[in-house]
Chain A
Amino acid sequence: MRIVFIIFIATLSSVSTAKANETVEPFAVPGPIQRILQQSCLHCHNGETSEGQIRLDSLSELQHTERLELLNKAQDQLFFGLMPPEEAESLMPQQQTELRNWLRAELQAHNASKLDDKLLYPSYGNYVDHDALFVRSALEPAFTPARRWLVSPQIFHHRVMDIFQLTDRERTGYATRSFFGVTNPFILPDHSGVRDYSITSLDGGHLLVMLKNAQWIASKQIFAAENKGKDRNAIIYSNKQDRWFPQVTPIEFEEIIVSVTEPTEDQFLAAIVKQFQLVLRRPPSTEEQTAYLELIKSTTQLAGKTEGLRQMLVTVLLESEFLYRLELGRAKEDTHGRRQLTPHEASFAISYALGDRGPDDTLLEAAQEGRLETREDFKREVTRLLADENYYRGQIDSTLNGKHYQSDVVSHPKIIRFFRDFFGYTESLKIFKDVKRSEGKYQNPGRGTHGTPGWLTYEADRIVTYHVERDEDVFNSLLTSDKFFVYYNMPQEQGDQLLREWQEVYEHLKDTAWKTQPERVLEENLEFLKERKGMRIMDNSRPGELVNHMHFFAESFGQGRKPFTRIPWSHGYTYHHSPFYSLPPTPSIGRYGSWKSTRYEGDRIELKSFWDYPTEQPFTIENRKGILTHPAWLIAHSTNFHADPIRRGRWIREKLLAGRVPDVPITVDAQVPEDPHHTFRERVEMVTQGNECWKCHKEMNPLGFAFEMYDDFGRFRTVEKLEHPENLIKSGDGKGTFDVYKTTPVVTSGSLTGTGTEELDGAVDNALELIDRLAQSDRVRQSIIRHAFRFYLGRNEMLSDAKTLRDADKAYLSSGGSFKSIIISLLTSDSFIYRK
């Protein structure tokens, strides 16, 4: 593989903008604004007091840049309700509006409003008033600003597959693995909530990665033609591990490579058009044809036809358009100044909303044949693609694949990814734990495995998939269902059959000499055992395995319980996470010894009670109710060491109650103090009770405290271990025995505010009661819909999106809680169809 730009691997510093010599521009504060400032601001912010080192009495004397900076600060303070302070006289609503409008107009006139920029970011989505969106505001024609939306990591990968024109098995194979020479230049930010917004720009980092990617992709595009006619074994690879190449080079490229004479201009043009189609999915314009023709001629003259061609391919791959989704709209505006998406843009917008691939043939045809014009056209295509079980079929998240498990394959992985992002339970993969604190059960992610949080994420995906596929009352089901999937490794019928056979074997052999003479027992019962296919016994060569099986059965069937449907000594066995659901444990991998040994281990180890495994799943787990009580969510909203009521409460306030919690002020060192005599809750209460802290913490703590019934591993608890050296009762070796600490009862009371419904707000005893009330709230439903809007539109909602949101809410209610009805509603809304 050639990498020609490696010398330039460097962080590209942004171009600094030097301050030009500034002059004081004529500036005057209008009379009414002066009066407001005089009355409500200047008392603290004048030349003498300068509270917070802010002066508002000398605005006209400031230089332009400094003045804009100060106006931006003032705008922030007003917008976020931080000024005037509580102890001061508040502004009348009309004065507020006047002051805000003046600040905004002044800043926007200079294209300098930082608040406008901030409001585009995910964390500011909730600053658009909820009631205004769903109740109060007048309905305006909706639109999305014309934009370039950076492709997601998954779309980028599919675009590379499109360039290689991969189909069928090869495409399926590469859908879950990466190309040897391609580094995905995109990563989505780590936070719960919608992560893929259309506000991100390409930068130097993307370019550096793409320089390398483009070289590799272009080389592979022509590799087959360069080696045409060669025996596969005679092909020389620059890297023995990088032997894959697409079997066919596009004919337009091949003709140039194999040509014995100088390629013609037509041949060059055909190659340019082909590469545009493959990479940018459109033909080149006349200007582009001219420019690229000139380029390929120059590169060919310098380096010959094959290398000259390759450089042209590289250059098209470096077009920024390859990395953006273009949604600019048609040339003609409607009466509201909006431009409808072109049919071509619409086909991609629909397809990328529903999956990671570009449009299928039917959608492309609809676009080409003028059948992607009306709202009904959009609805027809969206409905068809939602019903299509195959086109977008794929793994929910191939990066979750480990050595011994694969992420589930579903028909529409992107829908599951919405709920993953929204709930944020994949963040559990980033939390590292001290294994000893979990009695040795927790496995941190490591080489080849995502460990315990990997399994938990996988199982959270399953419960989401279950409710999404049923598509009835989806939000309530996700929030309140007490049913979960745990260790589910085969359909119930298959599991029941296996356990039936295992139990027959146990009953048949339990009174034989299997502990002492397994060889003889195996020999005598070989035919019986072979008939039970689930035993996987083919001959009498593995008597040790019979001992293991019988020991395993004795500890399950022998005690009136069913064992898990996979033997714990099997290769790659990693099922150890049932305790995090507060279920009994399952046998450890080494409990029964090696299957190669016929020694019965039961004489040396203590008999244990293991989990009575249910083959019918999902199944009810005590003290759990919905995703917010799933250990993946609970771990994701914990710290490495503690259950975190602040993080849990903040998630509920922002994601379910459409509420706002400002970031921690930079002057605050937000630390919960160490104190061996108090629970974590008590310490949080102590440190956040001050007025300044409580202003924000009242939005989080009372919600999060209700979740004190779960520890930071997601386990149900009634007491909290006071894990401090002073409280150590008994020290363990960290392997078979573990530290024992003093405990104190947990307090799980909390309170719910901000539902907008008086009957629902109020004190709660614990998380289960809190969840029940949340699930009844209109605001919670609407808050989830707001996040769905952000996911499918790639931006925060604006007041002009009110109709879109209300329509989606109606669609959900009238369909009996179908999430697909929300998708259809959003993708046929003016917000989706129009650009401005």
Chain B
Amino acid sequence: MDSRRDFLKTSLFGIGASALMNPQLSWGSEDKPPMRFIFMHRGNGLWPRVMVPPSFDETLQKKEQQKSAYEVDLNGHELPEWMAPLSNHVDNLTILQGLSGKMCTVGHHSWSSSLGVYKANERVSSIKWATVDFELAKLFPSPVEHLELACFPLGGGNARGSLDGIATGFSARGPQQPNYAFGSPRIAMEELFKSVSKDQATQVQYQLDRMVLEFAARNEGATARTLVNAEKNKIQNYANSIEAIRERSRKVDAMAETIRKHVPQLDPKYLEADISTFDRQIGHAEVLLGALISGLTNVVAFTVDELGHAYTGITGIEGATVNMHDVGHGKTIAGVEAAEIRKRCRTHHMKLVDTIVQRLKSVPEGDGTMFDNTMLLYFPDGGETHHSHGYEFPFVILAGDNTRLNIGRRYIRLPNYGDAGHKTLGNFYTTLLNAYGNPIEHYGALDVGLNAYGIDQTGPMTKLMG
């Protein structure tokens, strides 16, 4: 595969794309590629106990049971069986345990809580601010800025109307502004890569969009020209915004060659309507890779599943439709115990992670690979279990060599809830944001319950700052 950097240097697109980026951070202007982030979150809780390498000795196991803080180099340790697909990436792997998130909505459904660190619910008004993935996307601008993919829930208290459409996602662009996610690889392919689509209807739609925007830009621009001062700004801002979208369209057009090159070459089965959950996840992973490698976006939120999603395609019980709520309550389905179903799902998720990491490692970039500039986070949307309280949000993190966090090849258990030095999701995201250029003092709501323990819960986790 050609180096993306080489391609950018020699193509017209290179000029266009670099102009889109923040000059301070731009790949084009500073010879420094942008950082990429993939937030993979899943429903039904993630048990802290399954994160622990089985090779830990008795002392470590005891610490684990007592939830005492400790840190271990993963080198030489056996990974939990379900993490086996990550065995080639241990140097990049961090298992982070002990972050609490009681300031989030937890339990069955959490909406944008685990990405935004506040109590979100079904009401748009509960969205307090942009979720952390959007904050990072602002630091590493791209034509699409942010991509969200989801295996939508069709049941439960957070249901969407369709598995395959575009619907409210789990990220938020700003206060009271939910993001929209692609439910199926097919629709994501159609929309993201429509500028290079060979399908005539898609091409027509693309032309129509352009006509409407061109008309609107001309129209508003003409109105603005007749005004002065504040009143002019009221229209000019809007006209400029339309123009900015058109400009982005032009840039995407200029990227056509690169985009065409990285359009996911998916087996037709991944584009069908009655795709299984496991296949849907594989399809999404391919779309995600296409969007990252082509440079359409640098940040992806991927809702691997949500409690209300009816799972299909699970290894060994491919024909069964599995209600994850039942699994949460320990029900045996199609002769397979709930814990085993959970494990098979997690294993599949790790295979997806392996695919993503391997692929990015195969794309040359700078003196290394695209993965050097990538961080992937896999975590639960609601905490430690099905009926969680938010005491723990376990994370599996894979980070490339250029990560600005002091992590890698480590198992980290942080001080338990209420113990001195305890850290929250807010501390972790503050660390990420601070490390990558947003000096925010603290990201996220505070846990009013932690106050009783006299813990200062604001600010980054200094130990993780690189």
Chain A partners chain B: yes
- Asked whether A447 and B122 contact (CB < 8 A) given A9-B144, A9-B145, A9-B173, the answer is yes
Q: Is the CB of B215 within 8 A of A187?
A: no
Q: How far is the CB of A689 from chain B (nearest CB, A)?
A: 25
Decide if A295 is an interface residue (CB 8 Å cutoff). Answer: yes
- Other-chain residue from A2, A7, A15 in contact with B240 (beta carbon distance below 8 A): A15
A302 to B207, CA, bound (A): 8
- Asked whether A205 and B173 contact (CB < 8 A) given A9-B146, A239-B165, A298-B211, the answer is yes
- For chain A, give the interface size range: 35 or more
Q: Is the CB of A447 within 8 A of B109?
A: yes
Q: How far is the CB of A639 from chain B (nearest CB, A)?
A: 10
Q: How far is the CB of B234 from chain A (nearest CB, A)?
A: 4
A202 to B236, CA, bound (A): 9
Interface residues in A184-214 (C-beta closer than 8 Å to B): 184, 187, 199, 201-209, 211-212
Chain B positions 94 through 126: 1 when the CB is less than 8 Å from some CB of chain A, otherwise 0: 000000000101000100000000010111111
Interface residues in A230-282 (C-beta closer than 8 Å to B): 238-242
Q: How far is the CB of A673 from chain B (nearest CB, A)?
A: 13
Q: Is the CB of A201 within 8 A of B252?
A: no
Decide if A3 is an interface residue (CB 8 Å cutoff). Answer: yes
Q: Is the CB of A299 within 8 A of B191?
A: no
Q: How far is the CB of A47 from chain B (nearest CB, A)?
A: 34
| Chain B residues within an 8 Å CB radius of A725 | 452-454
Decide if B219 is an interface residue (CB 8 Å cutoff). Answer: yes
Binding stretch for chain A, among B45-53, B156-164, B339-347, B425-433: B156-164
| Chain A residues within an 8 Å CB radius of B176 | 187
- Other-chain residue from A5, A208, A241, A299 in contact with B211 (beta carbon distance below 8 A): A299
Q: Is the CB of B208 within 8 A of A436?
A: no
A631 to B124, CA, bound (A): 26
A120 to B238, CA, bound (A): 21
A14 to B175, CA, bound (A): 19
Q: Is the CB of A240 within 8 A of B245?
A: no
Q: Is the CB of B208 within 8 A of A302?
A: yes
- Other-chain residue from B161, B173, B180, B446 in contact with A3 (beta carbon distance below 8 A): B180
- Other-chain residue from B119, B204, B453 in contact with A432 (beta carbon distance below 8 A): B119
- The A-B contact count (CB < 8 A) is 186
Q: Is the CB of B445 within 8 A of A5?
A: no
A209 to B175, CA, bound (A): 13
A266 to B451, CA, bound (A): 70
Residue of A nearest to B176 (CB): A187
Decide if A573 is an interface residue (CB 8 Å cutoff). Answer: no
Decide if B212 is an interface residue (CB 8 Å cutoff). Answer: yes
Decide if B209 is an interface residue (CB 8 Å cutoff). Answer: yes
Q: Is the CB of B238 within 8 A of A201?
A: yes
Interface residues in B389-446 (C-beta closer than 8 Å to A): 445-446
Decide if B248 is an interface residue (CB 8 Å cutoff). Answer: yes
Binding stretch for chain B, among A317-325, A512-520, A539-547, A553-561: A317-325
| Chain A residues within an 8 Å CB radius of B238 | 201-203, 206-207, 320
Interface residues in A733-748 (C-beta closer than 8 Å to B): 739
- Other-chain residue from A11, A436, A444, A445 in contact with B145 (beta carbon distance below 8 A): A11
Binding stretch for chain A, among B66-74, B223-231, B261-269, B308-316: B223-231
Decide if B449 is an interface residue (CB 8 Å cutoff). Answer: yes
Q: Is the CB of A13 within 8 A of B119?
A: no
A406 to B270, CA, bound (A): 45
| Chain B residues within an 8 Å CB radius of A665 | none
- Asked whether A187 and B161 contact (CB < 8 A) given A302-B208, A311-B211, A319-B219, the answer is no
Q: Is the CB of A432 within 8 A of B448?
A: yes
Decide if A641 is an interface residue (CB 8 Å cutoff). Answer: yes
Decide if B179 is an interface residue (CB 8 Å cutoff). Answer: yes
| Chain B residues within an 8 Å CB radius of A674 | 454
Decide if A92 is an interface residue (CB 8 Å cutoff). Answer: no
Decide if A314 is an interface residue (CB 8 Å cutoff). Answer: yes
- Asked whether A436 and B449 contact (CB < 8 A) given A3-B180, A13-B141, A207-B245, the answer is yes
Q: Is the CB of B231 within 8 A of A445?
A: no
- Asked whether A302 and B211 contact (CB < 8 A) given A212-B180, A446-B121, A448-B122, the answer is yes
Residue of A nearest to B207 (CB): A302
| Chain B residues within an 8 Å CB radius of A445 | 119, 121, 126
Decide if B42 is an interface residue (CB 8 Å cutoff). Answer: no
| Chain B residues within an 8 Å CB radius of A95 | none
Chain A CB within 10 Å, residue with most, of B178, B194, B207, B245 = B245
Decide if B462 is an interface residue (CB 8 Å cutoff). Answer: no
| Chain A residues within an 8 Å CB radius of B219 | 291, 319
Q: How far is the CB of A726 from chain B (nearest CB, A)?
A: 10
Decide if A78 is an interface residue (CB 8 Å cutoff). Answer: no
Chain B CB within 10 Å, residue with most, of A320, A434, A445, A447 = A447
| Chain A residues within an 8 Å CB radius of B177 | 183, 205, 209
Decide if B271 is an interface residue (CB 8 Å cutoff). Answer: no
Q: Is the CB of B191 within 8 A of A11?
A: no
A199 to B208, CA, bound (A): 34
Q: Is the CB of A203 within 8 A of B241?
A: yes
Q: Is the CB of B192 within 8 A of A7?
A: yes
Q: How far is the CB of A8 from chain B (nearest CB, A)?
A: 5
Q: Is the CB of A205 within 8 A of B234?
A: no
Decide if A10 is an interface residue (CB 8 Å cutoff). Answer: yes
- Other-chain residue from A4, A148, A640 in contact with B209 (beta carbon distance below 8 A): A4
Q: Is the CB of B125 within 8 A of A448?
A: no
- Asked whether A187 and B175 contact (CB < 8 A) given A314-B212, A434-B451, A446-B119, the answer is yes
Q: How far is the CB of A728 from chain B (nearest CB, A)?
A: 9
Decide if A146 is an interface residue (CB 8 Å cutoff). Answer: yes
Q: Is the CB of A3 within 8 A of B166?
A: yes
Q: How far is the CB of B36 from chain A (nearest CB, A)?
A: 16
| Chain A residues within an 8 Å CB radius of B209 | 4-5
A–B complex contacts, Cβ < 8 Å, 26 sampled:
A3-B191, A8-B144, A9-B173, A9-B179, A9-B180, A10-B145, A10-B146, A12-B240, A12-B241, A13-B141, A183-B178, A202-B235, A203-B241, A206-B238, A209-B177, A241-B160, A315-B215, A318-B242, A320-B223, A320-B238, A433-B448, A445-B121, A446-B121, A640-B448, A723-B452, A739-B452
Given contacts A203-B237, A291-B219, 8 further A-B contacts (CB under 8 A): A3-B191, A7-B192, A9-B173, A201-B234, A432-B103, A445-B119, A445-B121, A448-B122
The 8 closest A-B pairs by CB, nearest first: A241-B161, A10-B145, A204-B241, A239-B161, A434-B448, A202-B238, A447-B121, A207-B241
